[in-house]
């Protein structure tokens, strides 16, 4: 009888220690997701910080298309207003955040295409430098998004597999959303470099 009690207590202790270890592992994974998210936000902030200088440079060119500049300014305002807390990275919230950032990326792309029609703008050192910095920033954003997705995959996998999912549900750990490709990104864009009349 005494031996049976010790065996039961041993099994209970093992289950408790396993549960504590699993919960701590999930908490560490969640912290990794938060740190990775902070890197994504930092990369997007770098892009947003470059835009005012780009707009000022472009505004100095006579007859530059105002609607294109307005679209960039409005998209930047929308993207910087969209804040997403690392605790709330649900798939739905990730889609909203991504939509705001994609709108800004699209406006910037249109600005760069329109800038091709202004040789005097392309020839300025400031514009060339800003264009180069934006290209580097876009690459950095992609790298950080990829790292974020890898971190989220590891975290999500740890909380949805059995028996970890039992601990996750009791401890409040929820699945985090991924960055996904934008709708229509599988089709090549139609770019037209016609000479400005």
CATH number of the domain residue 122 falls in? 1.20.1440.20
Question: Quick check: 135 and 50 in contact, CB under 8 A?
Answer: no
Is residue 131 a part of any domain in this protein?
Answer: yes
Q: Which two tokens stand for residue 183?
A: 């709708």
Q: Quick check: is 190 in a domain?
A: no
Q: What's the domain count of the chain?
A: 1
Residue 7 belongs to some domain of the structure: yes
Q: What pLDDT was estimated at residue 18?
A: 93
Report the C-alpha gap between 83 and 96 in whole angstroms.
Answer: 10
Rounded alpha-carbon distances, angstroms, from residue 141 to 8, 24, 170: 53, 30, 35
What residues in the chain have per-residue pLDDT under 70?
A: 1, 62, 182-197
Examine residue 196 and state whether it is found in any structural domain, yes or no.
Answer: no
**How far, in Å, are 31, 87, 164 from residue 167 at the CA level?**
17, 18, 5
pLDDT at 52: 92
How much is the pLDDT for 180? 85
In a domain, 45, yes or no: yes
Evaluate whether residue 153 is within a structural domain. yes
pLDDT recorded at residue 116: 85
Domain hosting residue 92, numbered range: 2-171
Assigned domain for 194 exists: no
Output the CA–CA distances (angstroms, integers) from residue 43 to 71, 134, 145, 147, in the order listed.
21, 11, 9, 12
Is residue 57 in a domain? yes
């Amino acid at each position: 009888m005494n031996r049976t009690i010790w065996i039961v207590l041993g099994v209970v202790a093992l289950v408790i220690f396993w549960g504590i270890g699993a919960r701590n592992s999930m908490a560490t994974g969640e912290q990794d997701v938060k740190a990775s998210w902070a890197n994504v936000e930092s990369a997007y902030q770098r892009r947003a910080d470059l835009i005012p200088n780009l707009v000022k440079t472009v505004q100095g060119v006579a007859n530059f298309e105002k609607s294109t500049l307005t679209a960039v300014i409005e998209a930047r305002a929308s993207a910087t207003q969209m804040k997403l807390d690392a605790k709330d990275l649900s798939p739905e919230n990730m889609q909203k955040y991504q939509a705001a950032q994609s709108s800004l990326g699209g406006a910037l792309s249109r600005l760069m295409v329109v800038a091709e029609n202004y040789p005097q703008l392309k020839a300025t050192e400031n514009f060339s430098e800003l264009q180069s910095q934006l290209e580097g920033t876009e690459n950095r954003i992609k790298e950080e998004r990829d790292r974020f997705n890898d971190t989220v995959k590891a975290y999500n996998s740890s909380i949805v597999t059995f028996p970890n999912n039992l601990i996750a549900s009791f401890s409040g750990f929820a699945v985090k959303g991924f960055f996904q490709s934008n709708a229509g990104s599988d089709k090549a864009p139609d770019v037209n470099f016609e000479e400005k009349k």
